[in-house]
Amino acid sequence: MGKEVNGVSRSRFEMFSNSDEAVINKKLPKELLLRIFSFLDVVTLCRCAQVSRSWNVLALDGSNWQRIDLFDFQRDIEGRVVENISKRCGGFLRKLSLRGCLGVGDSALRTFAQNCRNIELLSLNGCTKITDSTCNSLSKFCPKLKHLDLASCTSITNLSLKALSEGCPQLEQLNISWCDQVTKDGIQALVRCCPGLKGLFLKGCTQLEDEALKHIGAHCPELVTLNLQTCSQITDEGLITICRGCHRLQSLCVSGCANITDAILNALGQNCPRLRILEVARCSQLTDVGFTTLARNCHELEKMDLEECVQITDGTLIQLSIHCPRLQVLSLSHCELITDDGIRHLGSGPCAHDRLEVIELDNCPLITDASLEHLKTCHSLDRIELYDCQQITRAGIKRLRTHLPNIKVHAYFAPVTPPPSVGGSRQRFCRCCILL
């Protein structure tokens, strides 16, 4: 809508945006406006920069660009955008996420490193063009770097880890998941010069062996989080070294490491009492004996993924229900020996009423509607997975809902065989899967 000013119709936006003498600019000092702009996200800052010349200067001031995440803004950016950002922000920039920016390469990141020498957190997750050259630049110009995410940067090699160890001694968290060229030599160089490492994400680093874990155990006493998912060559020997050297460990993922045995659970129980998250999916050699030791010593456990730990029975659930009062998330999918009795103990344990939020029971063929009755007093339960639990019925789920009306229940019911036809016509939609 237009507005008459001295006989001329002008929109409110035009009156505000085309005049650097707008009321807000007169009333508020630039320092206060700058402070207001500091709370805005990238998109809003860019919009404000188009309002007027004075707002352009304020919005693009480097102090407003200390934390930038382009993932939800624009992922098809080119290297020159990163170069421009680095020149604008300079030493102000502390955190930058370029996650998924496939067009960004080594040249742009060298310019970035030269200009943003105070960077502390940098995510290059999925920036597949970068190579060891980028890590050399970071090593040379960014000594304050603490968190670096290089996941899926598959050209990264041991040379990157050696460079980071030389130039980034304050490094606390490193993600090199799926960088499958990395070997024990790179890990050794890294941990010897970065003793403050608290988080290492090595998922899919398939060349890593026990020797690499021994270096971590010997040099990373501050380690809190370790992810070794699908590092299929590691065995008990290397992981026991981790447990003995990293007593502060809170989160361990060894899913897909099929060689490990109960010896690991015993070592965790004896050395890592602060453990909160354990993911051991597809570790089929683990048994009730190991989980008993673990439960009796690691009372702070909150999340456990035991999918396809096919040897465990109700005995494990009994021990967890007694000794782990903080348990929130438990996956038992494909644990085919679990019965209603185990769920009964879990449902009556100290974690059940106020803590337990998620339980996954996919492909547990002995589970019946009785288990749902045992869980109806779990007032915090948010989600339950029941795919291919053939003794679960719709009626049982309905009864559970009367006690937990907001629960998300994911279940599968096979169609009637043969499926009924209407007037001889073929059904247009598959009715096999029902989301309840």
Taken in order of first residue, the domains within the chain and their CATH numbers are 23-64 (1.20.1280), 271-413 (3.80.10.10)
* Average pLDDT value for residue range 17-30: 63
Amino acid letter at 5? V
8 A C-beta contact, residue 104 and residue 133: no
Q: How confident is the model at residue 195 (pLDDT cuts 50, 70, 90)?
A: very high
Quick: pLDDT tens for 211-248: 999 999 999 999 999 999 999 999 999 999 999 999 99
Q: What is the pLDDT of residue 8?
A: 38
Residue 74's pLDDT is what? 64
Residue 26 has a pLDDT of: 67
Does 20 have pLDDT greater than 60?
A: no
At residue 26, the 3 state secondary structure works out as helix
Rounded mean pLDDT, 24-34: 74
Are 42 and 68 a contacting pair, CB within 8 Å? yes
Q: What is the pLDDT of residue 435?
A: 39
The mean of the pLDDT values for the chain is: 89
User: What number is the average pLDDT over the span 139-144?
Assistant: 98
E strands present in 210-263: 225-227, 251-253
pLDDT for 334: 98
252 within 8 A of 226, measured Cβ to Cβ: yes
Average pLDDT over residues 190-215: 97
Q: List, for residues 267-311, the tens digit of each pLDDT value.
A: 999 999 999 999 999 999 999 999 999 999 999 999 999 999 999
Between 373 and 413, residue with greater pLDDT: 373
Residues 110/133, Cβ–Cβ less than 8 Å: yes
Q: Report percent pLDDT > 90 for the chain.
A: 74
Q: DSSP letter string over 88-146?
A: HHGGG--EEE-TT-TT--HHHHHHHHHH-TT--EEE-TT-TT--HHHHHHHHHH-TT--
Query: What is the model's pTM?
Result: 0.86
Q: What pLDDT is stored for residue 436 in this prediction? A: 40
Q: Is the dihedral of CA 140, 143, 145, 151 positive or negative?
A: positive
pLDDT digits (tens, 9 = 90+) for 362-393: 999 999 999 999 999 999 999 999 999 999 99
Q: What is the mean pLDDT of the segment spanning 314-337?
A: 98
Which residues are CB-neighbours of 376 under 8 A, at least 6 positions away? 347, 399, 400, 403, 404
Q: What is the DSSP letter of 154?
A: T
Dist CA 122 CA 394 (whole Å)? 48
What confidence score (pLDDT) does residue 401 get? Answer: 96
Helix/strand/coil percent split, the chain, to 5: 40, 15, 50
Distance CA 257, CA 235 (A): 8
pLDDT for 9: 40
Residue 343 pLDDT > 70: yes
**What mean pLDDT do residues 323-328 have?**
97
What is the rounded CA–CA span in Å between residue 431 and residue 178? 38
pLDDT at 279: 98
pLDDT band (50, 70, 90) for residue 175: very high
Residue 138, pLDDT score = 98
Q: Residue 414 has what pLDDT?
A: 66
Place 57 in a pLDDT band, splitting at 50, 70 and 90.
Answer: confident
